[in-house]
Structure 1
Amino acid sequence: MDLIRILVAILLPPLGVFLQEGIRKHFWINILLTILGYIPGIVHAVYIIARDNPRDRISAR
């Protein structure tokens, strides 16, 4: 599933972040970064998707 999110993040960075986080602060940060430059938006989106999410570790226990 992360591979699909990363592909979406390359095409539409805010959508990739939305699929990962929902409408939270990272979504709005990504929209701002995408407006300021497409590449920073992609980098941020891929980082958000690929990072080790602490919420996932807590729910896996």
Structure 2
Amino acid sequence: MDSRCAILCEVLLAIFLPPLGVCLRHGCCTVEFLICLVLTILGYVPGIIYALYAILCVEREPRVDHYDTLA
């Protein structure tokens, strides 16, 4: 569970620079980031709307460490 302060910072960044907020939440090489980047290039407001959706509604993928299976 993320802290409320982290989510608030991501939301504020998503309003000013939508791809940056999504990048902090999901990573820079994800589908969410690429969609947000394209929408921001096409229009600033659609980028903000999608960034807020991606930050507040889309769950993160659980991190899987593959090192345990190698040991």
Shorter-normalised TM-score: what interval? Answer: 0.7 to 0.9
Normalized per residue, the structure richer in helix is 1
After TM superposition, give the deviation of residue 54 of structure 1 in Å. Answer: 6.0
Deviates more, 1:46-55 or 1:3-12: 46-55
Question: Corresponding residue for 1:49?
Answer: 55
Once residues 43 and 58 of structure 2 are traced to their aligned partners in structure 1, the CA distance between those partners, rounded to angstroms, is: 25
Question: Is the radius of gyration larger for structure 1 or structure 2?
Answer: 2
Alpha carbons of 1:54 and 1:26: their partners in 2 closer, same or farther (altered >3 Å)?
closer
Superposition RMSD in Å: 1.4
Counterpart code for 2:32: H
1:25 is aligned to 2:23: no
Counterpart code for 1:4: C
Higher RCO by CA contacts (8 Å cutoff, separation 6 or greater)? 1
Q: How many residues align?
A: 56
Counterpart code for 1:26: E
Structure 1 unmatched ranges of 5 or more? 57-61
Q: Percent identity?
A: 46
Contact 2:36 2:47 survives alignment (8 Å): yes
Once residues 38 and 7 of structure 1 are traced to their aligned partners in structure 2, the CA distance between those partners, rounded to angstroms, is: 15
- Structure 1: which 4+ aligned runs deviate by more than 3 Å? none
Counterpart code for 1:41: G
